[in-house]
Amino acid sequence: YISYALSPIVWVDLSAESLYLGWDTESSGADPFFPPDHLGRSSTYEVPPLTVWGVALCVSGTLIATENAIVVTTILATPSLRAPVFLLLASLGMADLLAGVALILHFLFMFCVEPSDWSELLTSGLLVTSLTASLCSLMGVALDRYLSLSHALTYGSGQSRRRAAVLLLLVWLGACVIGMGPAMGWHCLEEPKSCSVARPLTRTYLSLLCGGFLVVVMVTLQLYAGICRVARRHAHAIATQRHFLPSSQSYASKHSSGRGFSRLILILSVFVGCWMPFSLWGLLGDASSPPLYTYATLVPAAGSSLLNPILYSLRHKDIRKVLLHACCPHRYSHSTHIHYPVDV
Protein backbone atom coordinates (compact mmCIF):
# COMPACT_ATOMS: atom_id res chain seq x y z
CA TYR A 1 0.00 0.00 0.00
CA ILE A 2 2.85 2.42 0.77
CA SER A 3 4.52 1.81 -2.61
CA TYR A 4 1.23 2.10 -4.44
CA ALA A 5 0.31 5.25 -2.59
CA LEU A 6 3.61 7.02 -3.27
CA SER A 7 3.80 6.15 -6.95
CA PRO A 8 1.29 8.81 -8.12
CA ILE A 9 3.24 11.48 -6.22
CA VAL A 10 6.49 10.48 -7.90
CA TRP A 11 4.75 10.42 -11.27
CA VAL A 12 3.35 13.94 -10.78
CA ASP A 13 6.74 15.27 -9.68
CA LEU A 14 8.56 13.82 -12.67
CA SER A 15 5.87 15.06 -14.99
CA ALA A 16 6.19 18.60 -13.64
CA GLU A 17 9.95 18.48 -14.01
CA SER A 18 9.66 17.26 -17.59
CA LEU A 19 7.18 20.01 -18.36
CA TYR A 20 9.49 22.59 -16.77
CA LEU A 21 12.46 21.37 -18.77
CA GLY A 22 10.40 21.71 -21.93
CA TRP A 23 9.67 25.40 -21.43
CA ASP A 24 8.88 27.52 -24.44
CA THR A 25 12.21 29.06 -25.39
CA GLU A 26 10.77 30.93 -28.31
CA SER A 27 8.31 32.89 -26.20
CA SER A 28 10.81 33.50 -23.39
CA GLY A 29 13.56 34.69 -25.71
CA ALA A 30 16.20 32.45 -24.11
CA ASP A 31 18.83 30.48 -25.93
CA PRO A 32 17.48 26.97 -26.58
CA PHE A 33 21.00 25.54 -26.77
CA PHE A 34 22.39 27.09 -23.58
CA PRO A 35 19.78 26.53 -20.82
CA PRO A 36 19.75 28.81 -17.76
CA ASP A 37 21.89 27.90 -14.81
CA HIS A 38 18.92 27.35 -12.46
CA LEU A 39 18.07 24.16 -14.36
CA GLY A 40 21.20 22.68 -12.89
CA ARG A 41 22.84 21.34 -16.09
CA SER A 42 22.25 17.84 -14.72
CA SER A 43 23.66 14.64 -16.10
CA THR A 44 20.32 13.98 -17.81
CA TYR A 45 20.94 16.78 -20.34
CA GLU A 46 19.84 15.72 -23.81
CA VAL A 47 21.76 16.95 -26.84
CA PRO A 48 19.37 18.81 -29.19
CA PRO A 49 18.79 17.32 -32.65
CA LEU A 50 20.95 18.50 -35.51
CA THR A 51 19.46 21.37 -37.51
CA VAL A 52 20.18 23.07 -40.81
CA TRP A 53 21.79 25.93 -38.89
CA GLY A 54 24.09 23.46 -37.15
CA VAL A 55 25.15 21.84 -40.43
CA ALA A 56 25.82 25.25 -41.99
CA LEU A 57 27.82 26.25 -38.91
CA CYS A 58 30.02 23.14 -39.08
CA VAL A 59 30.53 23.28 -42.84
CA SER A 60 31.36 26.99 -42.91
CA GLY A 61 33.76 26.65 -39.99
CA THR A 62 35.52 23.73 -41.67
CA LEU A 63 35.83 25.59 -44.99
CA ILE A 64 37.16 28.72 -43.27
CA ALA A 65 39.70 26.78 -41.24
CA THR A 66 40.85 24.68 -44.22
CA GLU A 67 41.43 27.43 -46.76
CA ASN A 68 43.12 29.73 -44.26
CA ALA A 69 45.34 26.90 -43.01
CA ILE A 70 46.48 26.38 -46.61
CA VAL A 71 47.31 30.09 -46.96
CA VAL A 72 49.20 30.31 -43.66
CA THR A 73 51.16 27.11 -44.35
CA THR A 74 52.07 28.27 -47.85
CA ILE A 75 53.42 31.62 -46.66
CA LEU A 76 55.30 30.29 -43.64
CA ALA A 77 56.83 27.36 -45.56
CA THR A 78 58.16 29.53 -48.42
CA PRO A 79 61.32 31.52 -47.50
CA SER A 80 60.90 33.87 -50.45
CA LEU A 81 57.52 35.09 -49.15
CA ARG A 82 58.86 37.36 -46.43
CA ALA A 83 57.88 40.79 -47.69
CA PRO A 84 55.64 42.94 -45.42
CA VAL A 85 52.57 42.16 -47.48
CA PHE A 86 53.02 38.42 -46.96
CA LEU A 87 53.46 38.86 -43.21
CA LEU A 88 50.18 40.77 -43.14
CA LEU A 89 48.44 38.13 -45.25
CA ALA A 90 49.73 35.42 -42.92
CA SER A 91 48.35 37.35 -39.95
CA LEU A 92 45.02 37.72 -41.72
CA GLY A 93 44.96 34.01 -42.51
CA MET A 94 45.80 33.08 -38.91
CA ALA A 95 43.00 35.30 -37.56
CA ASP A 96 40.47 33.83 -39.98
CA LEU A 97 41.72 30.32 -39.14
CA LEU A 98 40.93 30.97 -35.48
CA ALA A 99 37.48 32.20 -36.50
CA GLY A 100 36.84 28.89 -38.27
CA VAL A 101 38.04 26.94 -35.23
CA ALA A 102 35.71 29.01 -33.01
CA LEU A 103 32.73 28.17 -35.24
CA ILE A 104 33.60 24.46 -35.11
CA LEU A 105 33.89 24.59 -31.30
CA HIS A 106 30.56 26.39 -31.09
CA PHE A 107 29.00 23.60 -33.17
CA LEU A 108 30.49 20.93 -30.89
CA PHE A 109 29.24 22.65 -27.75
CA MET A 110 25.79 23.07 -29.26
CA PHE A 111 25.16 19.59 -30.67
CA CYS A 112 27.76 17.16 -29.33
CA VAL A 113 28.47 17.90 -25.65
CA GLU A 114 26.61 19.57 -22.82
CA PRO A 115 27.17 23.35 -22.90
CA SER A 116 28.47 25.20 -19.87
CA ASP A 117 29.57 28.68 -18.83
CA TRP A 118 33.20 28.07 -19.70
CA SER A 119 32.29 26.84 -23.18
CA GLU A 120 30.36 30.06 -23.85
CA LEU A 121 33.23 32.18 -22.58
CA LEU A 122 35.76 30.18 -24.60
CA THR A 123 33.95 30.44 -27.94
CA SER A 124 32.96 34.09 -27.46
CA GLY A 125 36.51 35.08 -26.44
CA LEU A 126 38.03 33.20 -29.37
CA LEU A 127 35.60 34.80 -31.81
CA VAL A 128 36.28 38.29 -30.44
CA THR A 129 40.05 37.72 -30.68
CA SER A 130 39.90 36.36 -34.22
CA LEU A 131 37.53 39.01 -35.57
CA THR A 132 39.55 41.82 -33.97
CA ALA A 133 42.83 40.50 -35.37
CA SER A 134 41.24 39.92 -38.78
CA LEU A 135 39.86 43.46 -39.02
CA CYS A 136 43.14 45.02 -37.86
CA SER A 137 45.07 42.85 -40.33
CA LEU A 138 42.82 44.12 -43.12
CA MET A 139 43.67 47.66 -42.05
CA GLY A 140 47.35 46.65 -42.11
CA VAL A 141 46.98 45.33 -45.67
CA ALA A 142 45.47 48.67 -46.73
CA LEU A 143 48.33 50.53 -45.00
CA ASP A 144 50.86 48.29 -46.77
CA ARG A 145 49.31 49.02 -50.15
CA TYR A 146 49.34 52.74 -49.47
CA LEU A 147 53.01 52.73 -48.41
CA SER A 148 53.99 50.51 -51.35
CA LEU A 149 52.68 53.19 -53.72
CA SER A 150 53.77 56.34 -51.90
CA HIS A 151 57.22 54.94 -50.92
CA ALA A 152 57.90 52.58 -53.79
CA LEU A 153 61.70 52.96 -53.67
CA THR A 154 62.07 51.80 -50.05
CA TYR A 155 59.26 49.27 -50.07
CA GLY A 156 60.26 45.72 -49.11
CA SER A 157 63.44 46.66 -47.25
CA GLY A 158 64.53 45.02 -44.02
CA GLN A 159 63.38 48.02 -42.03
CA SER A 160 59.90 47.76 -43.54
CA ARG A 161 59.72 44.08 -42.60
CA ARG A 162 60.72 44.84 -39.02
CA ARG A 163 58.06 47.55 -38.78
CA ALA A 164 55.45 45.18 -40.14
CA ALA A 165 56.47 42.52 -37.60
CA VAL A 166 56.23 45.01 -34.72
CA LEU A 167 52.83 46.19 -35.99
CA LEU A 168 51.51 42.63 -36.13
CA LEU A 169 52.85 41.88 -32.65
CA LEU A 170 50.95 44.87 -31.26
CA VAL A 171 47.81 43.87 -33.19
CA TRP A 172 47.81 40.35 -31.77
CA LEU A 173 48.60 41.48 -28.24
CA GLY A 174 45.70 43.94 -28.38
CA ALA A 175 43.36 41.33 -29.89
CA CYS A 176 44.25 38.79 -27.18
CA VAL A 177 43.72 41.33 -24.40
CA ILE A 178 40.34 42.33 -25.85
CA GLY A 179 39.33 38.69 -26.34
CA MET A 180 40.16 37.84 -22.72
CA GLY A 181 37.52 40.31 -21.50
CA PRO A 182 34.68 37.76 -21.15
CA ALA A 183 36.90 35.21 -19.38
CA MET A 184 38.18 37.87 -16.97
CA GLY A 185 34.66 38.65 -15.76
CA TRP A 186 33.29 41.07 -18.36
CA HIS A 187 30.25 38.93 -19.14
CA CYS A 188 26.55 38.83 -18.33
CA LEU A 189 26.10 35.22 -17.24
CA GLU A 190 25.27 36.34 -13.68
CA GLU A 191 23.34 39.46 -14.72
CA PRO A 192 21.15 38.63 -17.74
CA LYS A 193 19.73 42.17 -17.82
CA SER A 194 23.17 43.54 -18.79
CA CYS A 195 23.50 41.22 -21.80
CA SER A 196 23.98 42.58 -25.29
CA VAL A 197 22.68 41.19 -28.56
CA ALA A 198 25.53 38.66 -28.41
CA ARG A 199 25.36 36.68 -25.19
CA PRO A 200 27.46 36.38 -22.96
CA LEU A 201 28.98 39.77 -23.87
CA THR A 202 27.71 42.75 -21.89
CA ARG A 203 26.21 45.71 -23.68
CA THR A 204 29.03 48.00 -22.55
CA TYR A 205 31.70 45.57 -23.75
CA LEU A 206 30.06 45.03 -27.14
CA SER A 207 29.44 48.76 -27.59
CA LEU A 208 33.13 49.52 -27.04
CA LEU A 209 34.10 46.64 -29.32
CA CYS A 210 31.78 47.72 -32.15
CA GLY A 211 32.84 51.34 -31.72
CA GLY A 212 36.44 50.25 -32.20
CA PHE A 213 35.40 48.24 -35.26
CA LEU A 214 33.79 51.33 -36.79
CA VAL A 215 36.97 53.37 -36.16
CA VAL A 216 39.10 50.70 -37.88
CA VAL A 217 36.64 50.57 -40.80
CA MET A 218 36.79 54.35 -41.26
CA VAL A 219 40.61 54.38 -41.08
CA THR A 220 40.76 51.58 -43.65
CA LEU A 221 38.44 53.48 -46.00
CA GLN A 222 40.64 56.57 -45.61
CA LEU A 223 43.70 54.52 -46.54
CA TYR A 224 42.00 53.21 -49.66
CA ALA A 225 40.98 56.77 -50.53
CA GLY A 226 44.66 57.71 -50.23
CA ILE A 227 45.53 54.79 -52.50
CA CYS A 228 43.12 56.15 -55.12
CA ARG A 229 44.70 59.61 -54.89
CA VAL A 230 48.23 58.24 -55.31
CA ALA A 231 47.14 56.00 -58.18
CA ARG A 232 45.46 58.97 -59.86
CA ARG A 233 48.70 60.95 -59.65
CA HIS A 234 50.61 58.05 -61.15
CA ALA A 235 48.04 57.73 -63.93
CA HIS A 236 48.35 61.46 -64.65
CA ALA A 237 52.13 61.15 -64.83
CA ILE A 238 51.79 58.27 -67.27
CA ALA A 239 49.25 60.20 -69.34
CA THR A 240 51.70 63.06 -69.83
CA GLN A 241 54.13 60.59 -71.42
CA ARG A 242 51.54 58.68 -73.39
CA HIS A 243 52.69 60.08 -76.73
CA PHE A 244 56.05 58.35 -76.15
CA LEU A 245 54.36 54.95 -75.83
CA PRO A 246 53.10 52.75 -78.67
CA SER A 247 49.33 52.49 -78.96
CA SER A 248 49.30 48.84 -77.83
CA GLN A 249 51.15 49.66 -74.58
CA SER A 250 48.87 52.63 -73.97
CA TYR A 251 45.80 50.40 -74.33
CA ALA A 252 47.33 47.79 -72.00
CA SER A 253 48.01 50.49 -69.39
CA LYS A 254 44.40 51.72 -69.55
CA HIS A 255 43.05 48.17 -69.35
CA SER A 256 45.24 47.31 -66.34
CA SER A 257 44.26 50.51 -64.54
CA GLY A 258 40.53 49.91 -65.08
CA ARG A 259 40.84 46.31 -63.89
CA GLY A 260 42.70 47.47 -60.78
CA PHE A 261 40.00 49.97 -59.84
CA SER A 262 37.32 47.32 -60.39
CA ARG A 263 39.10 45.00 -57.95
CA LEU A 264 39.41 47.87 -55.49
CA ILE A 265 35.67 48.58 -55.64
CA LEU A 266 34.94 44.87 -55.13
CA ILE A 267 37.24 44.69 -52.09
CA LEU A 268 35.73 47.79 -50.51
CA SER A 269 32.17 46.60 -51.15
CA VAL A 270 32.82 43.25 -49.49
CA PHE A 271 34.71 44.90 -46.64
CA VAL A 272 31.95 47.40 -45.82
CA GLY A 273 29.15 44.88 -46.40
CA CYS A 274 30.70 42.36 -44.02
CA TRP A 275 31.66 44.62 -41.13
CA MET A 276 29.28 47.57 -41.03
CA PRO A 277 26.00 45.69 -40.24
CA PHE A 278 27.21 44.00 -37.05
CA SER A 279 29.16 47.07 -35.91
CA LEU A 280 26.03 49.22 -36.12
CA TRP A 281 23.72 46.55 -34.69
CA GLY A 282 26.02 46.01 -31.71
CA LEU A 283 25.69 49.69 -30.87
CA LEU A 284 21.93 49.95 -31.41
CA GLY A 285 20.58 46.59 -30.18
CA ASP A 286 20.14 45.20 -26.68
CA ALA A 287 19.22 41.91 -24.98
CA SER A 288 15.53 42.31 -25.87
CA SER A 289 16.28 42.56 -29.61
CA PRO A 290 15.27 39.60 -31.81
CA PRO A 291 18.09 37.02 -32.10
CA LEU A 292 17.41 36.73 -35.82
CA TYR A 293 18.82 40.22 -36.40
CA THR A 294 21.96 39.31 -34.49
CA TYR A 295 22.51 36.22 -36.65
CA ALA A 296 21.75 38.22 -39.81
CA THR A 297 24.47 40.76 -38.98
CA LEU A 298 27.01 38.36 -37.46
CA VAL A 299 26.97 35.92 -40.39
CA PRO A 300 28.47 38.48 -42.86
CA ALA A 301 31.22 39.32 -40.34
CA ALA A 302 32.09 35.63 -40.04
CA GLY A 303 31.70 35.26 -43.81
CA SER A 304 34.48 37.79 -44.22
CA SER A 305 36.85 35.07 -42.97
CA LEU A 306 35.67 32.88 -45.85
CA LEU A 307 36.15 35.57 -48.51
CA ASN A 308 39.43 37.09 -47.31
CA PRO A 309 41.71 34.31 -48.66
CA ILE A 310 40.05 34.58 -52.07
CA LEU A 311 40.19 38.38 -52.27
CA TYR A 312 43.64 38.92 -50.78
CA SER A 313 45.90 35.85 -50.54
CA LEU A 314 44.89 33.47 -53.33
CA ARG A 315 44.65 36.39 -55.78
CA HIS A 316 48.36 37.12 -55.34
CA LYS A 317 50.25 35.51 -58.22
CA ASP A 318 53.32 34.62 -56.11
CA ILE A 319 51.18 32.65 -53.64
CA ARG A 320 49.32 31.01 -56.51
CA LYS A 321 52.65 30.02 -58.08
CA VAL A 322 53.77 28.29 -54.89
CA LEU A 323 50.45 26.46 -54.57
CA LEU A 324 50.53 25.34 -58.20
CA HIS A 325 54.06 24.07 -57.74
CA ALA A 326 52.96 22.12 -54.64
CA CYS A 327 50.08 20.55 -56.58
CA CYS A 328 51.95 19.97 -59.87
CA PRO A 329 55.70 20.12 -59.16
CA HIS A 330 56.66 18.76 -62.60
CA ARG A 331 54.62 21.31 -64.51
CA TYR A 332 55.37 24.54 -62.65
CA SER A 333 58.81 25.75 -61.68
CA HIS A 334 59.46 26.78 -58.09
CA SER A 335 61.18 30.04 -58.96
CA THR A 336 59.21 32.72 -57.13
CA HIS A 337 60.01 36.25 -58.13
CA ILE A 338 58.57 38.94 -55.86
CA HIS A 339 57.31 42.10 -57.53
CA TYR A 340 57.37 45.48 -55.83
CA PRO A 341 55.36 47.54 -55.32
CA VAL A 342 52.21 45.53 -54.79
CA ASP A 343 49.63 45.86 -57.55
CA VAL A 344 46.72 48.00 -56.34
Which pLDDT does position 40 carry in this prediction? Answer: 42
pLDDT at 37 over 90: no
The strand pairing partners of 201, in sequence order, are 187
pTM: 0.77
pLDDT bin (cut points 50, 70, 90) of residue 22 is very low
Determine contact, residues 217/142, Cβ cutoff 8 Å.
Answer: no
How many CB atoms are closer than 10 A to CB 123?
Answer: 23
C-beta atoms surrounding 99 within 10 Å: 28
Q: Is the pLDDT of residue 7 over 60?
A: no
Confidence class for position 102, pLDDT limits 50, 70, 90: very high
The distance from CA 98 to its chain's CA centroid, rounded to whole angstroms, is 8
Average pLDDT, the chain: 78
**Domains of the chain, with CATH numbers?**
52-239+257-327 (1.20.1070.10)
Beta bridge partners of 202: 195
